[in-house]
Amino acid sequence: MGNDKILPYLRQHEGEFFEMLREFVELESPSHENKEASDRCSRFLEEAFGGLGFDIERIRQDACGDHIYGELGGGEGSAVVLGHYDTVFPIGTIQTMPFKTENGKAYGPGILDMKGGIVMAYFAVKALRDLGLTPNRRIGIFFNGDEESGSFSSSDLILRKSRNYNCALVMEPGINDLNSVKTRRYGRGTYEIVAHGRSAHSGSNSHLAASPLTELAHQLLYIERWNNDTEGATLSPTLIGGGIANTCMIPETAYFSMDVRFKTEELGSAIHERVMNLQALTPNVRLEVRGKIDKPVMIGDAALYQKAAEAGRQYGLELKGVTVGGGSDGNFTAAAGIPTLDGLGTTGEFLHNPREYIHIEHVPYRTAMLAKLLQTL
């Protein structure tokens, strides 16, 4: 490490890091439940990064928290740092899943995915600024409020802004490994399968019904077999509905939603075509299939990975790239030809789970790697 000042600075400011992270985590921000709550979180980011000198643009939204874009410095755009502040946890989760630190871990809703990574980005830039190491190139940030629901209002904006930079650095978490970054992500398709049958009284004339619920049962078992027989993809039903509670009626319609992940574009296209052509297996029932591929496969940039590895080695890290099934906004930038590296945020386990945590001791090393990467790009 020689005379490098970045890691000692980050160790010195570790208490400030976790105090900021506590405040950020306690500002609960599920994707679409409560815009007022989400915008308290977006204002927190606006003020924090504005305080570092970023010229902030608040991109107003109706259905989710406002998106935050910022630029620091002038000249050539070196890197845009991407992250999302929305979480999957509903308002009130902080009461049963409070922020806490114990046994070398920090806990709280969204701490791993991915509020910890955004605070890492803040302290990486703060370290460069306070140490007089800020590069003479422009750094960008884009933090959206709808990533967990698919980035449907932000993906085009992310691409528009990111095209002004040489690369995109995604502060999504790594895995449970100090040295991990994400160099490949599966693509995603989302679907709704609706069965249209014929309703009838469930006691008096059930023989006249064509049950959409029975049809969905057949389809779910078929998809389970398909999933078990398919390498490099997952087909996961996520929601089911149909009928009216406490009535004696076989319903006319029922539906389920499905999330599909795939390792290659070719596999994704083949599965998409097969899903869209599903046929009913129950007499007198018609299937309606809606859906699309909404996230392309992400392949991280090899040259950018090597630069990150070189930066990491200065702090004792030996990077290793991993492939994961989950998607991120890095899927969009990579597919658009913008060199992308993902999974640069915190490390830990159990994202989207009440046990979600990050490793405290990993934070300064990975933040130092990010700062060095921003300095040298």
Looking at residue 224, what is its pLDDT? 98
261 and 312 part of one domain:
no
User: Do the domain assignments include residue 89?
Assistant: yes
CATH code: domain of residue 147? 3.40.630.10
The DSSP code for 353 is S
Is the pLDDT reported for residue 46 higher than 80?
A: yes
116 and 132 part of one domain:
yes
d(CA 93, CA 294): 29
Looking at 270, 295, 320, which one is the last position of a domain? 295
d(CA 371, CA 256): 45
Residue written as token pair 């089911």: 240
- pLDDT tens readout for residues 225-276: 999 999 999 999 999 999 999 999 999 999 999 999 999 999 999 999 999 9
- pLDDT tens readout for residues 275-327: 999 999 999 999 999 999 999 999 999 999 999 999 999 999 999 999 999 99
C-beta separation of 254 from 195 below 8 A: yes
335 and 237 part of one domain:
no
Is the pLDDT reported for residue 2 higher than 60?
A: no
171 and 114 part of one domain:
yes
The mean pLDDT value for 185-207 works out to: 97
66 and 41 part of one domain:
yes
197 and 261 part of one domain:
yes
54 and 145 part of one domain:
yes
177 and 232 part of one domain:
no
User: Do the domain assignments include residue 17?
Assistant: yes
CATH code: domain of residue 217? 3.30.70.360
User: Do the domain assignments include residue 126?
Assistant: yes
304 and 269 part of one domain:
no
DSSP 288-313: EEEEEEEEPPEE--HHHHHHHHHHHH
Give CA angle at 309 (22, 86), nearest 5°.
30
* pTM check: above 0.85: yes
173 and 30 part of one domain:
yes
User: Do the domain assignments include residue 1?
Assistant: no
42 and 62 part of one domain:
yes
Is the pLDDT reported for residue 63 higher than 80?
A: yes
What is the domain count for the chain? 2
d(CA 342, CA 334): 10
User: Do the domain assignments include residue 338?
Assistant: yes
Alpha helix (H) ranges present in the chain? Answer: 6-12, 14-26, 35-51, 93-96, 116-130, 155-162, 212-228, 265-276, 302-313, 330-335, 363-376
161 and 198 part of one domain:
no
Instruction: Show the domain range for 180.
Output: 6-185+297-376
Residue written as token pair 């690369």: 167
Instruction: Find all residues with CB under 8 Å of 91, minimum gap 6, and list them.
Output: 28, 30, 33, 34, 37
